[in-house]
Structure 1
Amino acid sequence: MTPQKAAAPRTVTQGALAHSQILDAAEELFYQEGARSSGIDAVVKRAGVNKMSLYRQFESKDDLLKQYLQRRDEKFLAYLHASLDKHPGQPRRQLEQFFTDLAARTATPGYRGCPFVNIAAEFPDTEHFARQMVAGNKARLLATLTELAQAAGASDAPGLAAGLALLIEGAYTASQTYAPGNSLLPALPLVAKILLDAALPANT
């Protein structure tokens, strides 16, 4: 009798590694192609795991979306504070630096705008958990802008923060609607400076 070949050993992806691979895959797909249009099959294929592995780590696609948004929120806050930390104790310089960095970021190849704006466009129901998480991210950004405006000496810190927040949201949208190489996004630091000059005391 011809001896049977031993079955090839099955590749087992450990829980923590599988969780990371699946979340990485979801992050790429949800950001580049949209959360609604990216099905579970596409996620597991990109992650290199099977559906059983996914459902061991995530209760549902909603759970996966929730963890995607949590990770994106953490990444945004890390990006924001990395920018502000370039000028500790100098709130005006911190605000100016953020817009300089945002102008550079929006020009990065493959940039698809703000992931929270993208999610908001996909989920029209404002009571949906994803929209609630979007609102939470934007509220944290606005709170940070308000604190910096106050520290910089603005007489109307909430008003300045609102103007800067609108400028940020406009930049996110323009990064997707205007052709690459447009003149709008490089103007971000100048427009921010105009707002700061108008709202802050001289010599700040």
Structure 2
Amino acid sequence: MNDEQARAQILDVADRLYYSRGIQAVGMDELRTGAGVSLKKLYQLFPSKAEIVEEVLRRRNREWSAGVRAEAEKHSTPRGKLLAIYDFLAGWFVQDDFRGCAFINSFGELGSTAPGVAEAARSHKASFESYVVSLAEEAGAGPDLAPQLVLLAEGAQTTASILRRPDVASHARAAAEVLIDAALATRATAAVAG
């Protein structure tokens, strides 16, 4: 196994174990064993556990963002693209291994002691909000809509995880429809009045 393959294997194992059991519950020796590499190789590729966690989060950010965007691209209207966020969540929440948001989980475990982990979580949340802002602007909504929709999505993730209720995605979607329609109606009324 070359370094690139070993690195990918370590990250796959780390992602699975960290997400299912928590970061602090998984030691480097368990990662080494699961990835089938020597401890020396593990530390050669990742000098610290924090570096592994940060890279796992960067990978998750890319995968999650691609998933949300792919779901949105199934729709031709900006409104449909905004609502697709909640369709993406609905599909995620019913997966057997769903355990909430990896970024919130990681931040909760290590955010106060690992600045790189905290930054990876913040970066993910900021990039998601930026994407929702772009969709809301494309829809012609005012600046308040995107943060409201992001809060619905974040709250749905947390609630679905804690209460083990995947149906919260449909409730969040229904609330998002009300918010989107109200924002667009307000803009239309302002445009007519102006």
TM (norm. structure 1) is 0.84
Change (3 A) 1:25 1:19: same
Please state how far the C-alpha of 1:165 moved relative to its aligned partner.
0.7
Match of 2:149 among 164, 175, 184: 164
CA distance in 2, matches of 1:86, 1:151: 16
Q: Does the Cα contact within 8 Å between 1:103 and 1:188 map onto a contact in 2? A: no
Q: Does the Cα contact within 8 Å between 1:174 and 1:185 map onto a contact in 2? A: no
Q: In the alignment, which residue of structure 2 is the partner of 1:9?
A: none
Task: Give ranges in structure 1 of 5+ residues lacking alignment.
Answer: 1-12
Please state how far the C-alpha of 1:169 moved relative to its aligned partner.
0.8
Stretch deviating more after TM superposition (57-66 or 165-174):
57-66
Q: In the alignment, which residue of structure 2 is the partner of 1:93?
A: 80
TM (norm. structure 2) is 0.88
Residue 42 in 1 paired to residue 26 in 2? no
CA distance in 2, matches of 1:121, 1:145: 24
CA distance in 2, matches of 1:27, 1:111: 13
Residue 120 in 1 paired to residue 90 in 2? no
Q: In the alignment, which residue of structure 2 is the partner of 1:196?
A: 180
Q: In the alignment, which residue of structure 2 is the partner of 1:33?
A: 21
Please state how far the C-alpha of 1:201 moved relative to its aligned partner.
3.1
Moved over 4 A (4+): none
Residue 149 in 1 paired to residue 136 in 2? yes
Task: Give ranges in structure 2 of 5+ residues lacking alignment.
Answer: 189-194
Match of 1:79 among 67, 78, 97: 67
Please state how far the C-alpha of 1:107 moved relative to its aligned partner.
1.7
SS in 2 for 1:201: helix
Change (3 A) 1:124 1:65: closer
CA distance in 1, matches of 2:140, 2:185: 7
SS in 1 for 2:181: helix
Q: How does 1:165-184 map to 2 (within 5 A)?
A: 165-180=150-165, 183-184=167-168
Q: Does the Cα contact within 8 Å between 1:103 and 1:189 map onto a contact in 2? A: no
Q: How does 1:2-17 map to 2 (within 5 A)?
A: 13-17=1-5
Change (3 A) 1:164 1:35: same
Q: Tell me the amino acid that sits aligned with residue 140 of structure 1.
A: S
CA distance in 2, matches of 1:145, 1:138: 11
Question: How many residues were matched structurally?
Answer: 187
Please state how far the C-alpha of 1:188 moved relative to its aligned partner.
2.6
Q: Does the Cα contact within 8 Å between 2:67 and 2:88 map onto a contact in 1? A: no
CA distance in 2, matches of 1:38, 1:77: 26
Q: In the alignment, which residue of structure 1 is the partner of 2:191?
A: none
Q: Does the Cα contact within 8 Å between 1:69 and 1:133 map onto a contact in 2? A: yes
Higher helix share: 2
Q: Tell me the amino acid that sits aligned with residue 3 of structure 2.
A: G
CA distance in 1, matches of 2:22, 2:32: 16
Q: In the alignment, which residue of structure 2 is the partner of 1:136?
A: 123
**Larger-gyration structure (1/2):** 1
CA distance in 2, matches of 1:119, 1:56: 24
Stretch deviating more after TM superposition (184-193 or 90-99):
184-193
